[in-house]
Chains A and B, each alone.
Chain A
Amino acid sequence: MSEQEKEKTTAAVTTTEAPAPATAAAPKAAPAPEETGSQYFFGEPLVGFDPSEITGSLIVIEGMDGSGRSTQIALLQEWLESEGFAVQTSGLRRSNLVGRDIDELLAKNAVTRLTLALMYATDFFDQMEHRILPALRSGTVVLADRYIFTLIGRGVVRGINRDYISGLYAMALRPHLTFWLNVRPETAFGREFRKAQAISYWEAGRDMSLSHDLYWSFIRYQTMIKREFEVMAKKQNFIELDGEASVPAVNKQLRQRIAEQLGIRSTKYTPSAALSHLWR
């Protein structure tokens, strides 16, 4: 690991450093929130929310496109429901507030990186406040298909200051478990291509002008994102799983850790006929 990367590691997600103000002077009299965040939030608490009401669990699955996140989440949901747990899922661009607007911005490709990052933050907090927190308050298990780590990584590789973008997510709830399905970009490319017989503009990071060749653009972009994940993995206690392994093998590891967290005795599971096509 280079010196520079070490530096990055220390500056990762938590907002321990006071952000530089936009204007001439800082608000010195600002009611100082905890410097290192709390057990519930990465930084400062969310306005009007009492975290002690949480009775559910927030379980995050992170990983690049083609790492198998959505397959695993579908299987975990079925397993947890069969164990009698209520499950809610969340993911990027699924908010009622701006989910569709982001889709449109992406389709038009007429948006600058900062605006896009802020729209994703809006999308994230709308789901946090209207979907994730209410579910956690009622004892539900929330399975999050990606979380702030993807959003931070994407911003950082596009040159947005790390402290800045981490600071945006200061009021994000700390997950109970964060899994990282780590795969090689080459494997991910094959899986993604098979899915749609094409690679999308954004998956390949085409906005970053890395290469005119779609394959190389994808590989370079996803490698950059992967490096960001490596930086965050240590700092944020990711549970790293080998995403190259078979679906049942990855699923078994996920079930074991989740069973521990939720106090489920048995981790036995065979998918129903509806999901058996995923089990390979």
Chain B
Amino acid sequence: METQDVVQKPPRTEPAKSTLPQPGRPVPSRAYPGALIVVEGTDGSGKSTQLYLLKRWLEIGGYRLHFTEWNSSPLVKSATRRGKQRRLLTPTTFSLLHAADFADRCERQIMPLLQGDYLVLADRYIYTAFARDTARGCSPRWLRNLYRFAPVPDITFYFRAPLDVAVNRILSGRPKLKYYEAGMDLGMSYDRAESFRLFQARILEEYDKMVDSDNFVVLDGTIPVNKLQKQMRDIVASKIELKRFAPRAEEAE
């Protein structure tokens, strides 16, 4: 059954029921045939490098996939840029603008691709908003409501690195931290590096709180890149039926 009927779509463990995302209603992973893998973690935790390597592995294997990044919707970009440059953003509007950005990608890319049986890889997801915006003082309850239209990931990798390791990776590689990136809007310190450190500490704390409630797969961001990648690939292979996203027979031959 699994290999014979090649002209048809690959067999699905769960039938696709809904055809459209319902804004404001949670989207369980059973509602669509695709699969969603997300990476989360503080700046400097190594998550983007690892997701890139995972993506390369899957691309080389010919799997159907789409990669999406936090804060990248062209529709909302100019507003975000203006808000940051002119420092107009408050915790609430910062949060809403990022939610608008995410909603745009969600409605126009993530959901349609999940419906269309793709493997979707997301560099940062709603947990970034939960951690960062809660660290800024937004109500966790309000935030959970704000993002409840988001599909629940099949795997959420949480790359955990000690605060000093992550912060030093960023500070050594980047000449100047941006205002909001460093959490300067919180008024914790006039020194950007110090403000960044304090802000990241809060974010790390918020991430740690979600490990159990949101089923994070915790990975150690301090071990060598290739070893970490091996772990990541093993987990993906064990949790997701990758065969379903493999090139269809008629395309491969």
- Which residue numbers of A lie inside 8 Å of B, CB to CB? 15, 18-33, 43-44, 46-48, 96-98, 101, 105, 110-115, 117-119, 121-122, 125-126, 129-130, 155, 159-165, 167-168, 170-171
Contacts and interface: CB of A to CB of B under 8 A. Distances in A.
Contacts of A110: 75
A48 B104 contact: no
Given A19-B148, A22-B26, A46 B75 contact: no
A20 B26 contact: yes
B129 to A, nearest CB: 10
Contacts of B76: 101, 115, 119
Interface stretch (B62-70, B83-91, B159-167): B83-91
B148 A20 contact: yes
Contact of B213 (A28, A98, A101, A113): A28
B152 A112 contact: no
Contacts of A162: 24
A126 B89 CA distance: 8
7 contacts: A21-B144, A23-B126, A26-B144, A30-B141, A47-B139, A118-B99, A122-B100
A164 B144 contact: no
A10 B155 CA distance: 37
A111 B136 contact: no
A181 to B, nearest CB: 28
Contacts of A163: 24, 145
A32 B142 CA distance: 11
Contacts of A130: 88
Interface residues of B, number: 52
**7 closest pairs, A vs B, by CB?**
A164-B24, A161-B24, A19-B145, A118-B100, A167-B145, A25-B213, A112-B107
Given A44-B139, A167-B145, A159 B23 contact: yes
Nearest to B213: A25
A84 to B, nearest CB: 32
B96 interface: yes
Interface on chain B toward A: helix, strand, loop, or mixed SS?
Answer: helix
B145 A23 contact: no
B144 A122 contact: no
A170 B91 CA distance: 14
Given A112-B108, A171-B142, A48 B79 contact: no
Contacts of A46: 92
Contacts of A168: 96, 145-146
A44 B107 contact: no
Interface in B123-161: 126-127, 136-142, 144-150, 152
B97 A98 contact: yes
A114 B103 contact: yes
A125 B141 contact: no
